[in-house]
Chain A
Amino acid sequence: MALRYSIRFSGAGGQGLIQAARILAEAAAIYDNKNAAESCSYGPEARGSESRAEIIISDETIDYPKVDTVDFLMALTQEAYDKYIPDLVSNGILVVDQNVRTNDQATDKKLFSVPFLEIAESSCGRPNMVNIVALGFFAQINDVTGVKYIRQAILARIPKKSEDIYMKAYEAGLEAAQELEK
């Protein structure tokens, strides 16, 4: 059966979620040779610090790039969780920041609660690398596209000489997921 996987990254402005979505989509489309579509919030709500990005990854041509329900939801703020949890399918993967309080709606989901900010700070001393840690986490718990493709896409998105620090954050995300999966 053909793959069509819908992903939503949601949180606050400044968490780098739009960049993360772009990297993920590029990893799938350019390096993994799948099809991908990506869209993000641009309206005035984005001025209110909301941040949302959606990615569809598919083996086949994406005829309809809009996302109604999602297979994977990453919610890094409480507001994002409250707003988007109804769109996550049963048995879908839910990744939340550890400060997010989940409710009954999360019970039929595969839930991961992760201290992204702490990991970003401890791995590379950069709290603004939350998005890269999150990508590492995504790559490890999900086989929709390969760990190496996401790594390639990250390296193609960042300034030169910052590779080490980004890779530390990415590896920390991978390790955090491995720990939780044990």
Chain B
Amino acid sequence: MKDPLTRLTERTAALGNYNRKYLHIISTNIEKLTSALEQHGRRESVHLWSYSMEIPGEMDTILEITSDTNEQLDFLGCYFALQFLQMNLRMVDIVKLELASGPHRWETSKRLMLETGRMFRNLTKCYMERLLDLFIDKEGCPEYVMLGVGTRADQDDIDLGIIHKEPGDSESLNLAISRLASQMFKKATRLHFHLSEHVGENSLTATIEQYEETLDKGAYDFVMATEMLGAAAILGSYPLHDEFQARVTNRFYHDTWQKENHFHEGYLRGILSEVRSLLNRMKPPKSINPKDDALRPIKSLLSALKLVHGVHRSNAWDIIDELKEKNAVRLAQYTDLEQALSFFELFRHLYQIIVAQDEDIDLGEPGIETAVAELAGMMGFQNKGVVSAKDFMLVNYYEFLDESIQATETLTGDLKKHLREVSAFKPIFSGAIYRTPGYMGNLAVDFIRAVKSAKGFTYWDDFIEELSGENSSFYDEFISSFDQLHERVRAKVAQGYVSGTRYDPGSVLRFLVILGEKAKSDVAKSIFNSVSRLYIDELSRLPGGPTSLAHMLHAYPQALNSFLALIEWESLARFVELAHREPAVPEPYPVHRQLRALANVHYESSHFFKRHFHQIITKHPAFIRNLHNNDKLREVTNGFFSDLTSIPSLTERIERLGDYYDLEFVRTSLLAMSGADCERTDAEFIEFCDNYTHRLFKYCQQDIHLSLGYSMHTRDRFALYATGGHAREQGFDDDYDLIVLLDSTDTDEIDYCNKIIGKMNSHILKRGILPHHRFADEFGSYVIRLDQLAEFLSSGSEDIFVDQSQLLSSRMLVGSNKLEQRLQDEIISPLIFARSQEYIEYMREEMNSRHAEGEDQRNNIKECPGGLRDIEMLLLMYEVKHRVRDPLSRKFLRRLVEIEPRHAKDFAYIENHLNFIKNLRDLYRLKVAAHNVIDKDCLPPVAASMGYGENTEAAEKLYGDFLERTAKVTGVIDRLVDSIRK
């Protein structure tokens, strides 16, 4: 037969590894303890191998069998360990039994957790009382009370606050408690004294007067306040606890007479900030954390609500019960919280008992999945078909979580309203303070006093809302009051605004964004810039480094983006540096990439790019999260485009189509900036532009139809052409050249089509792109007829070759092939191809005159010898020579190789050069400025994207290559032009 220790060891194998320490304590002392009990004939008086209902008496028995203190400590510790393990084994058996019939019995979970807490408290209280009896010198010992200030059933540690009362030997009390802590640590559970450590001079205990002083000085934080408010007496003087409540914790309750709500307000601000941070926190994809996901936000919220509704309870379930009565209008929300609390408390407790005492549960870790499956079974979940019990439980986890979040949001909404009512800012927000006779305050200083009233009280949404209000009077008053301060005071105040960064960088960020966005005057801008600099200093000191910034991006993508857009260049450079530091913790790597991508976008992009970027990020901030992943972005934009047809409202559809354009513009730009091949970026750019134009024409046609009440069928007689860069399949232009043809003399039809094009123009303009209609000025209409065109091209005007080129290089976007054929037959062939020699000579002449400008055009990518214009003109000359009408793209160059194989090498050289300068031009536009003339000092970011490297020498090398290549290609082009003319 197995001995009891072996049996206990085997049974304990069902529990988590941490129970080994209790087995270690038992195995070290059990023989001595058993033998001592037997020697004194008391073996039958003590339950060693089963759970006892007589713990206090049995502990006393153990103390009686030896007078040796060390033995007493060892025996008591051994008894504690035995009872602790048996308590947990019993708990597991009860849970299995009670929840066997089904998992959705939250009332049972609540009862089980309350019972577990009671059993654990009873066991630890009995143990601690007896240890203190051994350690305390009763004669000089002051009156004291030991308060439990944490979760009652938490076995990993016990959070304590200890209050003593003068007179008495508090030093000896501290010594005794220190010994108690040491014994508890060795044999039972750690004790934590966070509260006492921060109050008074003794390390472990403090007087009520010291607590009062701590509050008066504002030397506390909301974590300490929460502990004070949740305190429940464990042992010692209960009247002292009552006095503590009356003199200390009651200060935090809402004073309905509005005499003193300073502490109440401060605490609400701390809790609102805490709850928001927890709800917004970045959750690792494979982990769950019942404490941070749900228990902490729920308990924080309850701790604040009990102050508003005058509930003087400390247990979360008791608080909910009373809140249900006192605030019955929110009964549904309290019920949701109660159910969630019961589920998560039981889940966490069981996990800690049978798996590990960790808060983060990484479902990808070895062993965890099996353990969680076992836990699901214990909680009454069962496999059903292909769905496992574990998956059912996780679904429940997220359902309870969603319900608790919804309830939390409703209840925090109530808290925010209440805060506005009790806030010391109420007379400031309403303006009443300025009408108070003799008011000498200063808003900027009033704000900082409130911010600094206690550590970590960083919920300032009400103030931020006032600042951002449409009526700028509050903002103006704030700026003016700040500006009136003496320089030295101003620096201190500014530092004060950013002092909360270490607790809640997001709140400070949102404050700064409003400050910056509304800054119109130089004074306001200067204040924003100086506070922003200090904020970045604070960010640089955050212990999490870039991880803290990544958390901020996760919680406030839009605010961070706005902030980066608002700050000065030097501040932006510092932010980029911070974002690129190595993270201390690997966990949020994907967010780091997002952060770096966002920082880079701001630091290394032109206004040309940012215009589209801001437009889209303001509307779709979630887009920021995919900046580093172009494939994912493409999925999103494709989804946007596919989804257009399902939008019932035409106005909304056009709006979303515009978003599609902006998203695609940003995506292809990012692709280009990441160093992608420019042939690919051009192709993708033109693809979305064509999609956009095609669909926009259709929607504008529908719009005109709806506004006129009729439509006209012009299908076979209408064509919309792109010309210029878009026709050449060249991305990243900031204008859009269009030609609209209509084969009709009917003025109603012309008017109808002009209306459609007019609509299109206004939408294209919203994208920041200028639509150009080459012939509109000439004919006073967007829409032109073929006969008008023929007449115009026959006029013999000197610059006619420009218009001929536009037509020649045009590419049909919308319309009929029939009309395209007529354009070819009636315009292109007789009026351009038939006059090829004349056209080629014009072009040659234009080329020569441009080249004659020499040095002035040297840095102009488009107009310089060997630049984009030369290549375009050369291709046009070939089109005329060979009577073909292809888009002037790389494809045409490749076709020329087939047509004139003797120049194959030259064409290949030109194609290579075209890629080079096209890449240079695109990147310059996206990273520096949308100019054709390059400034060589601005080339470093371009050189980096083109693979030259990131230093000044790399930029020099790029510039040198540009000069050398354009010079070489000029010679090639000259030679080819000569051959065309022969």
Contacts and interface: CB of A to CB of B under 8 A. Distances in A.
Contacts of B357: 157
A48 B544 contact: yes
Contact of A44 (B24, B185, B223): B223
Interface residues of A, number: 55
B64 interface: no
Contacts of A164: 366
Contact of A63 (B178, B362, B502, B582): B178
B543 A77 contact: yes
Nearest to B586: A127
A158 B544 contact: no
Contact of A47 (B277, B367, B371): B277
B187 to A, nearest CB: 8
A48 B548 contact: yes
A12 B548 CA distance: 10
A62 B16 contact: no
Interface in B573-591: 582, 584-587
Interface string B345-367: 00000000001111000100111
Contacts of B585: 12-15, 128
B355 A159 contact: yes
A44 B186 contact: no
A152 B27 CA distance: 15
A44 B586 CA distance: 23
Nearest to A10: B543
Contacts of A161: 366-367, 370-371
B538 to A, nearest CB: 10
B306 interface: no
B544 A43 contact: no
A37 interface: yes
A38 to B, nearest CB: 7
Contact of B504 (A35, A47, A62, A165): A47
A120 B112 CA distance: 40
Interface in A17-63: 19, 22, 25-26, 29-31, 33, 35-39, 42-45, 47-51, 61-63
A165 B504 CA distance: 35
B941 interface: no
B107 interface: no
A26 B503 contact: no
A127 B547 CA distance: 15
Interface in B399-447: none
A29 B191 CA distance: 14
A156 interface: yes
A150 to B, nearest CB: 13
A131 to B, nearest CB: 11
B176 to A, nearest CB: 10
Interface string B518-549: 00000000000000000000000111110110
Contacts of A13: 543-544, 547, 585
Contact of B182 (A35, A117, A153): A35
B403 to A, nearest CB: 25
A74 B193 CA distance: 23
B543 A62 contact: no
Contacts of B179: 61, 63
B547 A12 contact: yes
Given A43-B221, A48-B502, A12 B543 contact: yes
B21 A156 contact: yes
A49 B542 contact: yes
B584 A12 contact: yes
B190 interface: yes
A30 B455 CA distance: 37
B365 A48 contact: no
Given A12-B543, A39-B197, A156-B20, A49 B186 contact: no
Contact of B16 (A11, A14, A160): A160
A12 B221 contact: no
Nearest to A44: B456
A42 B223 contact: yes
B47 interface: no
B182 A157 contact: no
B224 interface: yes
Contacts of B204: 65
B586 A76 contact: no
Contact of B455 (A31, A38, A44): A44
B355 A15 contact: no
A61 B179 CA distance: 7
Nearest to A35: B182
A62 B197 CA distance: 16
B503 A165 contact: no
Given A38-B185, A156-B20, A157-B18, A61 B178 contact: yes
B554 to A, nearest CB: 13
A111 interface: no
Contacts of A160: 16-17, 355, 367, 371
Contacts of A39: 192-193, 197
Contacts of B602: none
A159 B182 contact: no
A105 to B, nearest CB: 17
Interface in B699-752: none
B761 to A, nearest CB: 51
Given A11-B584, A25-B185, A155 B20 contact: yes
B542 A65 contact: no
B897 interface: no
- Most B CB within 10 A of own CB, among A36, A51, A63: A63
A107 interface: no
A13 B360 CA distance: 12
Contacts of B222: 44
Nearest to B351: A159
B25 interface: yes
Contacts of B503: 44-45, 47-48
B361 to A, nearest CB: 9
Interface of B: 16-18, 20-21, 24-25, 175, 178-179, 181-182, 185-186, 190, 192-194, 197-198, 203-204, 221-224, 270, 274, 277, 355-358, 362, 365-368, 370-371, 455-456, 501-505, 541-545, 547-548, 551, 582, 584-587
Given A49-B542, A64-B178, 17 more contacts: A14-B544, A15-B585, A30-B21, A37-B178, A38-B185, A39-B193, A44-B455, A47-B277, A48-B544, A49-B547, A49-B548, A76-B584, A79-B543, A159-B17, A159-B355, A159-B356, A159-B358
Nearest 5 A/B pairs, CB to CB: A161-B367, A49-B544, A44-B456, A50-B543, A14-B585
